[in-house]
Amino acid sequence: MAAYTKEMRKEALVLMMQRYGDSVKRMCCVYLHDLPSAEDAAQDTFIKAYDHIDQILSQEIQNEKAWLMRIAINTCKDMLRSSWMRRIDKRKPIEELPLSTSYAPEESLALTQAVMSLPPKLKDIILLHYYQDMNLRTCAEVLGISGATATRWLQKAQAKIRKELERS
């Protein structure tokens, strides 16, 4: 593998943060329901990505976005799995998140809230497919499941969101 200078690695990392930073952080926010945790998770995602930045530079990793999202999802899951977090729930409903949501239409908030309330695996598929614009095959690859399972999860997630929206 070619040797890359520190500057080249840093440049690649900055480019990646500029390109995907917002969507990674928002996805983490939907996942963790907590802005400070989402900040931690998003930063952690890029720190982990930096460990493999040479593979990005050498284009060994083909789908950079899918790869990064997998890291983000796993980072969020690790955080939720941490023993402290399992016991002490710091997740907040969207209206309590410190965001300037006053300009957001009510429907958007309801839809985001419905996604946030999904169980993790259904949330994964929805976020990857709808928010990160990935096709089902890529989603399946990222999540390490079969295409059929991905389809089933997506249908289940859609049904749950519909139900949640009707309820609200």
CB distance 16 to 68 below 8 Å: yes
CB distance 139 to 126 below 8 Å: no
Please give the size of the binding site for other proteins, defined by CB under 8 A.
57
Tokens of 147: 């295409």
CB atoms within 10 A of CB 111: 15
Q: Does 36 bind other proteins (CB under 8 A)?
A: yes
CB distance 71 to 41 below 8 Å: no
Stretch that binds other proteins, among 47-55, 57-65, 66-74, 137-145 (CB under 8 A): 47-55
Stretch that binds other proteins, among 61-69, 89-97, 117-125, 143-151 (CB under 8 A): 89-97
What is the distance between the alpha carbons of residues 23 and 46, in angstroms, rounded to a whole number? Answer: 12
Q: Does 138 bind other proteins (CB under 8 A)?
A: no
Element (H, E) at 158: helix 147-167
Q: Does 167 bind other proteins (CB under 8 A)?
A: no
Q: Does 15 bind other proteins (CB under 8 A)?
A: no
Element (H, E) at 35: helix 35-51
Element (H, E) at 77: helix 64-81
Closest CA relative to residue 157, chosen from 144, 139, 8, 38: 139
Residue choice 14, 119, 147, 152 for contact with other proteins (CB under 8 A) = 14
Residue choice 24, 71, 76, 150 for contact with other proteins (CB under 8 A) = 24
Residue choice 82, 119, 120, 168 for contact with other proteins (CB under 8 A) = 82
Residue choice 3, 5, 62, 107 for contact with other proteins (CB under 8 A) = 107
Residues that bind other proteins (CB under 8 A): 6, 10, 13-14, 17, 21-22, 24-26, 29-30, 34-36, 38-40, 42-44, 46-47, 50-51, 82-88, 90, 92, 94, 99-101, 103-105, 107-109, 111-113, 115, 126, 129-131, 133, 158-159, 161-162
